[in-house]
Amino acid sequence: MHDFDFQNARYLFTDVDDTLTTDGRLRPETYSALWRLADAGIIIIPVTGGCAGWCDQIIRTWPVQAVIGEGGSFYFSRAANGSVDCRYWAERESHKADRLAIIEAISALNPALDIALSKDHHFRLVDVAIDYNQDRRLSDAQVREVMQELLNRGFRVKKSSIHINVAQGTFDKCAMTRRLAAELFNLSTEELKAQSVFIGDAPNDESMFAFFPQSVGVANIVPHLDQLKCRPAYVTSRRCGAGFVELADQWLASIALPGSVTRK
């Protein structure tokens, strides 16, 4: 990452699971890196497959301006007075109907696969998450079978580092990122690309890697690279949260250079 150009970067979009977290935990040095970036004027927006319950906690307690959740199906933003607003990709009622259809389809899959929904299932608003690598373990072959069966039924299926996320609709992480940027910050597509950095770790980040020229994968993305048609422009030397700290340190060092301007 020695030639990474932070000159025009003002916005940081970041995945959460296994990008900010390390072995399921948010380590203090990673959380500190978020605050150091925010204090330097960087606008931080997590973009996660994580549930609405998690996103509510993030928007209320982390140094972030907004958070995109459940793979791009909604975003939470915080007003100047501290109140939180939620904007869905489509109508809330249509999302509820889609979710019921997904749960019904999952229940009809091969019982031998021993599929379990994620523990955060009841805190989700739009998508449905199947646990394959968090509290439960599915083999690579089982993951492929589950994903293909659900794709055959017409659902949108993405794999994070811990879940298989299933949804209906045209949204994904990148589509909602572009909508959020226009609605909250009045950014055009080209302005968003020029002023942003994205960092992630998994196949469900591929649309972000494809969109952002300044894209970064933490080192634990390496086993997934063969699955990606669009890869990150850079890969950190360290994994998970330590890789995020690596990016933050380099970004903050560039801001501290003579002639640079802290963005407040």
Confidence of residue 2 (pLDDT cuts 50, 70, 90): low
Confidence of residue 258 (pLDDT cuts 50, 70, 90): low
Domain with CATH 3.40.50.1000 in the chain: 11-89+171-255
The predicted-structure confidence for 38-94, as pLDDT tens digits, reads as follows 999 999 999 999 999 999 999 999 999 999 999 999 999 998 888 999 999 999 999
DSSP secondary structure letters along the chain: -TT---TT--EEEE--TTTT-BTTB--HHHHHHHHHHHHTT-EEEEB-S--HHHHHHHHHHSS-SEEEETTTTEEEEE-TTS-EEEEESS-HHHHHHHHHHHHHHHHTS-GGG---B-TTGGG-SS-EEEESSSSS---HHHHHHHHHHHHHTT-EEEE-SSEEEEE-SS--HHHHHHHHHHHHH---HHHHHHHEEEEE-SGGGHHHHHH-SSEEE-GGGGGGGGG-SS--SEE-SS-HHHHHHHHHHHHHHHHTSTT-----
The predicted-structure confidence for 137-188, as pLDDT tens digits, reads as follows 999 999 999 999 999 999 999 999 899 999 999 999 999 999 999 999 999 9
Confidence of residue 257 (pLDDT cuts 50, 70, 90): low
The predicted-structure confidence for 11-42, as pLDDT tens digits, reads as follows 999 999 999 999 999 999 999 999 999 999 99
Asked if CATH classification 3.30.70 holds for the domain at 92-167, the reply, yes or no, is no
* CATH number, domain 11-89+171-255: 3.40.50.1000
Confidence of residue 264 (pLDDT cuts 50, 70, 90): very low
Average pLDDT score over the chain: 94
pTM: 0.90
How much is the pLDDT for 205?
A: 94
Domain with CATH 3.90.1070 in the chain: 92-167
